[in-house]
Amino acid sequence: MTDTFPATLPDRLSTDPRSPFHDAELLERGIGIRFNGAEKTNVEEYCVSEGWIRVAVGKARDRAGNPMTMKLKGTVEPYLRSPGQTG
C-alpha cells in the first residue's frame, strides 16, 4: 500500500463522477462494503455516519441513463480490498 491513500476511509463515498463525494483513485484501489454484516457488491454510494447505502435496483435506468437506486439504512462498514480480491 502506498502513502497516498488515507489511513481511514472517508465517511461518505460515491461511484458517480459528478458527485462531490467521488474519489476515483480510492475507488480504483478497491472498496468493499459490509452492510448489516452482509457483503454488498452493488453499492453506488455510502455514508457511515448516517448509516445508509444506495444500491442499484436491477438494470433500470433514469432519463439521464443513471442507474435507479434505493436507499437502505443500517450498519455500514467500508474496507479496502486486498489486491487479489475482486468484486
Q: What is the 3-state secondary structure of 3-18?
A: CCCCCCCCCEEECCCC
Query: From first to last of its 87 residues, what are the pLDDT tens digits of the chain?
Result: 444 445 589 999 999 999 999 999 999 989 999 999 999 999 999 999 999 999 999 899 999 998 899 999 999 999 998 765 555
Q: Is 73 within 8 Å of 51 (Cβ atoms)?
A: yes
Helix (H, G, I), strand (E, B) or coil at 87: coil
Q: Taking the domains of the chain in order of start, what are their residue ranges?
A: 12-80
Helix runs in the chain, H state only? 24-29
Query: Using CA atoms, how far apart are residues 10 and 16, in angstroms rounded to an integer?
Result: 15
The pTM score is 0.80
